[in-house]
Amino acid sequence: MSETVLDVKGMNCPLPVLRANKALRSLASGERLRVLATDRAAVADVQAFCRETGHALLAWSEETGVFSFVIRKK
């Protein structure tokens, strides 16, 4: 399955989640979005966003200051 990548590195809260929400609107149900962010607040923000919207947060990780989130659209 293909994956869309959204690079929001350098953007601060709430922009990473707002941009992710906009990107998810253009995807079909079940498609995946990988969000790359550097704002530490994105960890809690993306988790809360997925809980509230019903999208699935499949995985998240951090490597050298870059957070990667894989979200499956509901």
Q: Which residue numbers are catalytic?
A: 13
DSSP secondary structure string, 6-18?
EE-TT--TTHHHH
Q: Which of 41, 34, 37, 39 is nearest to 59 (CA)?
A: 34
Q: Confirm if 6 and 19 have CB atoms less than 8 A apart.
A: yes
Q: Confirm if 37 and 16 have CB atoms less than 8 A apart.
A: yes
